[in-house]
Amino acid sequence: MDISAVNALTYEEFVELFGNVVEKSPIISAAIWSHRPFKDLTDIEAHITEFIHSLSDSGKEGLLRCHPDLAGRDLQSGTLTRESREEQSQAGMTALDSAEILLMHRLNSEYKERFGFPFIICARLNNKADIVRRLSERLKNDRAAERELAIEEVKKISSLRLHNIVLSGIQTKL
Ligand SMILES: NC(=O)N[C@H]1NC(=O)NC1=O
């Protein structure tokens, strides 16, 4: 799918295709559609980044709260989005033993209690050991630093999702 095909999408098609590029936040694709025509994927990413950075601190935290825990309740109950399930699976989160699941639950709860939003990391770029290590380390940060780090992870997740859609030929929907 090339950029001219992206630019030719109707609003409805665009949001259907890119609505979950930022987890459970279709407002972002709804907003950036107005910026067509896009020059390339980097241009789309720049608009996503611009939107996210324009949010207030509470808006950014709201965006973070749209993300499911890693190895959390949604994974156990099968209610993850397709994208999140694939990412969590790739990072080994779907193949944890019971002790590892308990550890993730304990660390995720501690994190959420401290910061008021879930721990977020780009699962495709990290394995199980990285995730546990980073989660333990990041618990020591302050809230503002963690908010910014988490937003950077959301941007990495979104970039990989965007590239995956455009380059992998999910255009069958079009
Ligand atoms: N909590 C969290 O990091 N969630 C996620 N990370 C990722 O790569 N996909 C997700 O859903």
Which tokens belong to 27?
């407002």
Helix, strand, or coil here: 103? Answer: helix
Q: What is the ipTM of this complex?
A: 0.99
Place 173 in a pLDDT band, splitting at 50, 70 and 90. Answer: very low
Place 168 in a pLDDT band, splitting at 50, 70 and 90. Answer: confident
Pocket test for ligand 1, best of 22, 65, 79, 84 (most atoms within 8 A of CB): 84
Q: Which DSSP state fits 34? A: G
Helix, strand, or coil here: 168? Answer: coil
Query: pLDDT at position 167, please?
Result: 87
Please state whether the peptide bond connecting residue 37 to the residue before it is cis, i.e. omega within 30 degrees of 0: yes
Pocket test for ligand 1, best of 79, 88, 89 (most atoms within 8 A of CB): 88
Q: Which DSSP state fits 38? A: P
Residues recorded for the chain: 174
Reading phi first (left if > 0) and then psi (alpha if -120 to 50, else beta), residue 145 is in alpha
Ligand 1 pocket member 61 (CB < 6 A): no
CA–CA dist 133, 137 (Å, integer): 6
Report DSSP letters for 9-24, one per residue: --HHHHHHHHTTSSTT
Which tokens belong to 42?
């980097």
Active site residues: 67
Question: Scanning the structure block, which residue is given the tokens 């980044």?
Answer: 49
Report which ligand 1 atom has the smallest distance to the Cα of 118. 1
CA–CA dist 33, 107 (Å, integer): 38
Q: pLDDT digit string (tens) for 83-134?
A: 999 999 999 999 999 999 999 999 999 999 999 999 999 999 999 999 999 9
